[in-house]
Amino acid sequence: MSDAEIKLMIPGPVSVSPEVLQAMSQPVVPHYGDNFIHLYNETLDLLKLVFKTNQDMFLYVGSGTAGIDACVGSSLAAGDKIIVGSNGFFGDRLIWIAEGNGLVVVPVRSNLGSELDPANFLQAVQEHPDAKAIMVVHIETSTTIINPIAEIANIAREYDMLMIVDAVSSIGGVPFKFDEWGLDLVATSINKCLGAPPGLSPIAVSQRAWQSINALPPKNHGWYSDFRTWKKYATEWVDWHPTPVTMPVNNIAALNIALKQLMEEGIEHRYQRYRNLAIQLRQGLTSIGMFPMTPDHLLNPVLTAAFGPEGIPTSQIVKYLANKHKIIISGGLGDLKEKTFRIGHMSPVVNKEDIDLVIHALNQFPD
């Protein structure tokens, strides 16, 4: 099966539009000078519209995890305490990232398939007023749950803690309000709802976060992964070379086109279009007896998980769709391995016909 024939419906990376692909194949140009600065600044401005922020934005080179790791390492020092929410695989990963940075972690857990509960964070901050930060995943991609980050951020604000968010699978696909929600450090990745190929982690940093970052000892956490380095170049070399390292220029050109396409469609329209796909998919799954994992009020506009037929490991369904129908979906992750399958509809090029196709293919299983 050639890559061009497959229909990619996993929760990232996603299929990208032909115009975005074309930007990837343009001649390589330098990551400095007037043309690059124009592309870079325009891309940051477009990202600010999606994050809904007027604060600092960087295009960190690496996957989403690299961005989150840098948010943690840049703003906190080994030995600091952090409250970390987890209701699934990616929340657990945040705990590992915090521990890997030498932090003392206070976990706040909810069951798989339930939202994180702000009341539990209130209790945790009251028991640990010395914690410096709260960190949570926005969309827990393993279960599709959307966590109430605005409410949790309110608690962080009240108790003067930083609010760090893993928005890797949410930004560009569901409403996001960095400034209004009072967030401090947020990382996403470009290969999910933003509709570009993998390689960059856009990051927003609040003024409050800078106060913490700048108060840390100068040699705290590497150099590349210290946002002070990025800020220094964005300030001191702004007129010719605004980043500390060689940038993947084609990737930035591709992201730039993907963001312009998002603006052309309209952010609110995009959100609603994804939501409609989710509704269509949930109805289709229910009609063939493969029920969505979460109830309708927990609908996720960009990603749907469902249970397969009783007693059948879901990897068989994933393989069947790939081999017989050339549709690539994902299995369950972590404790949900072999129990659920997941269908991503977070690509700008996924449409109603694709949802019909996937339902049709699932309905044939296991012919």
Ligand X SMILES: Cc1ncc(COP(=O)(O)O)c(C=O)c1O
Say if CB 338 and CB 317 are below 8 A apart.
no
Say if CB 136 and CB 152 are below 8 A apart.
yes
Using the minimum distance from each CB to ligand X, give the nearer residue, 140 or 359.
140
Instruction: For the segment 73-92, give every residue that binds ligand X (CB under 6 A).
Output: 90
Using the minimum distance from each CB to ligand X, give the nearer residue, 115 or 166.
166
DSSP-derived secondary structure for 25-60: TSPP--SSSHHHHHHHHHHHHHHHHHHT-SSEEEEE
Please report whether residue 225 would count as binding ligand X according to CB under 6 A.
Answer: no
Using the minimum distance from each CB to ligand X, give the nearer residue, 55 or 188.
188
Residues in the chain: 367
Q: State the nearest-atom distance from the C-beta of 64 to ligand X, in Å.
A: 3
In angstroms, the Cα distances linking 366 to 170, 214, 307 are 33, 58, 15
Using the minimum distance from each CB to ligand X, give the nearer residue, 57 or 125.
57
Please report whether residue 212 would count as binding ligand X according to CB under 6 A.
Answer: no
Token pair in block for residue 79 = 């030995």
How many residues of this chain interact with ligand X, rule: CB under 6 A? 13
For ligand X, the binding residue among 53, 55, 65, 110 (CB under 6 A) is 65
Q: State the nearest-atom distance from the C-beta of 91 to ligand X, in Å.
A: 9
- Reduce the DSSP state of residue 166 to 3 states and report it: strand
Which x/- pattern, by CB under 6 A, does the window 146-185 give for ligand X? Answer: --------------------x-xx----------------
Please report whether residue 141 would count as binding ligand X according to CB under 6 A.
Answer: yes
Q: State the nearest-atom distance from the C-beta of 20 to ligand X, in Å.
A: 17
Phi-psi label, residue 266: left if phi above 0, alpha if psi -120 to 50, beta otherwise: left
Question: Which residue's entry shows tokens 């995943």?
Answer: 137
CA dist 345 and 105 (Å) reads 33
Using the minimum distance from each CB to ligand X, give the nearer residue, 63 or 340.
63
Please report whether residue 137 would count as binding ligand X according to CB under 6 A.
Answer: yes
Q: Which residues pair with 191 in a beta bridge?
A: none
Token pair in block for residue 287 = 């009609």
For ligand X, the binding residue among 63, 74, 300, 340 (CB under 6 A) is 63
Token pair in block for residue 242 = 């605004």
The torsion angles phi and psi of 8, rounded to 5 degrees, stand at -90, 115
Q: State the nearest-atom distance from the C-beta of 63 to ligand X, in Å.
A: 3
Using the minimum distance from each CB to ligand X, give the nearer residue, 225 or 242.
225
Instruction: For the segment 12-31, give every residue that binds ligand X (CB under 6 A).
Output: 12
Which x/- pattern, by CB under 6 A, does the window 90-109 give for ligand X? Answer: x-------------------
Q: Contact region for ligand X (CB under 6 A) — 38-46, 63-71, 215-223, 283-291?
A: 63-71
If one counts every other C-beta atom within 10 angstroms of the C-beta of residue 89, the result is 19
Query: Which amino acid is it at 292?
Result: P
- Binding residues for ligand X (CB under 6 A): 11-12, 63-65, 90, 137, 139, 141, 166, 168-169, 189
